[in-house]
Amino acid sequence: MSVPPRAIQLNEANAFLKKHPEVLYVDLLIADMNGVVRGKRIERTALHKVYEKGINLPASLFALDINGSTVESTGLGLDIGDADRICYPIPGTLSVEPWQKRPTAQLLMTMHEIEGQPFFADPREVLRQVVSKFDELGLTICAAFELEFYLIDQDNVNGRPQSPRSPISGKRPQSTQVYLIDDLDEYVDCLQDILEGAKEQGIPADAIVKESAPAQFEVNLHHVSDPIKACDYAVLLKRLVKNIAYDHEMDTTFMAKPYPGQAGNGLHVHISVLDKKGNNIFASDDPETNEALRHAIGGVLDTLSEQMAFLCPNVNSYRRFGAQFYVPNSPTWGIDNRTVAVRVPTGSADSVRIEHRVAGADANPYLLMASVLAGIHHGLTNKIEPGPAMEGNAYEQSEPSLPTNLRDALRVLDDSEVMAKYIDPMYIDVFVACKESELAEFENSISDLEYNWYLHTV
């Protein structure tokens, strides 16, 4: 007789607590619409109850704006009495938090209706619904993220970030030299603790590289054959990076564009698709002749404008774009070409994959993945051709055509018939309502620049 799933999870809890008798507390985590981790902290003695009965959190957790305020126009707040839903543990996510002075563990959760079915507004459930369409075709998604971030000083200058002083030289970095090993050495203790902390938490981070701005770095996650788990890893990695930096008396930012004139932070995702036998359907010695690959790319490009609000969900997201920063602003693709939106990296025939290069590090990984997979499925099932691959500088060959601001991106998403086939229209309504609320607040504010320009001149 098979062991009931809840009993298996209890075995997981028992084994963990036995292995870590020092753990005093457990953080119960759930990522909201913005990818911000929220939840509760419990004592270790309450962990079994969490596995047996879950915990209650309000449905409005998924109607929070970037400041943590409930957006009532979503219908998930006062309209339903700010009612609770129940959150259950995600197996395999129980791990220690290596940065804590008081031994603490963490556990990812996912929200369900009281009756048991997954809650529609949990971004993890949004992604699961898209993945299920590949399951119906007997296809498995392999995925991995590349996550960019800046180390910044804990003290800002008039509210603006600045690079932290190097623990080695005591100087603030000025270098924009990508892949420079010396810049890794300047922050070696912090960066190495990130990799070691990831290993301790079971996050498959296998490399850190210096990016093309002062104190900007990228962490590469190894691919896994579960796109939902790949997103879990990305969410946990961001939390790890932030907290390890605090331990080293630094701060971090995943803001899409923290510095004018410097590169923004991106969140690239690599995706391949496996058939029932585990073969990569994109595999080819000549990727341009592979029909499955072409159709997948065609679908992504066909829906790219409709994906933009999920890929670039904040006002600041659109400041990232520009040819000098390798951020594509039109639906283009190419072989081993970093000036396009969808790059096909070269290498062995078996490793051919899609690299989606548009999203910022401020995107929710679950919604980003759901958007890209929706495009791939749309292309595969409708045999959409992508047009010729771009060679050379795509910025000089294609006019910018993707939405360049959040309001336009939200309108395109709201009107999209294709995205509504993959992502519950009720969820799109919730997402759009939250982001339109943020946008209205932003547009009602008056910037310093406006005062400088207009106060005494008009």
Q: Which domains does the chain have, with CATH numbers?
A: 10-119 (3.10.20.70), 132-423 (3.30.590.10)
pLDDT interval class at 309 (50, 70, 90): very high
Cα separation, 208 vs 195, whole angstroms: 8
pLDDT interval class at 31 (50, 70, 90): very high
Q: Specify the pLDDT at position 2.
A: 38
Q: Specify the pLDDT at position 158.
A: 85
Average pLDDT over residues 164-174: 84
CB distance 99 to 243 below 8 Å: yes
The values of phi and psi at residue 417, to 5°, are: -75, -35
Q: Specify the pLDDT at position 5.
A: 59
Largest CA distance in the chain: 81
pLDDT tens, residue by residue, 329-379: 999 999 999 999 999 998 888 999 999 999 999 999 999 999 999 999 999
pLDDT tens, residue by residue, 241-294: 999 999 999 999 999 999 998 999 999 999 999 999 999 999 999 999 999 999
Mean of the per-residue pLDDT values of the chain: 94
HEC readout, 245-272: HHHCCCEEECCCCCCCCCCCCEEEEEEE
Average pLDDT over residues 229-245: 98
- Is pLDDT at 182 greater than 70 in this prediction? no
CB distance 419 to 374 below 8 Å: yes
Share of the chain above pLDDT 70, in %: 96
pLDDT tens, residue by residue, 48-71: 999 999 999 999 999 999 999 999
Average pLDDT over residues 115-139: 97
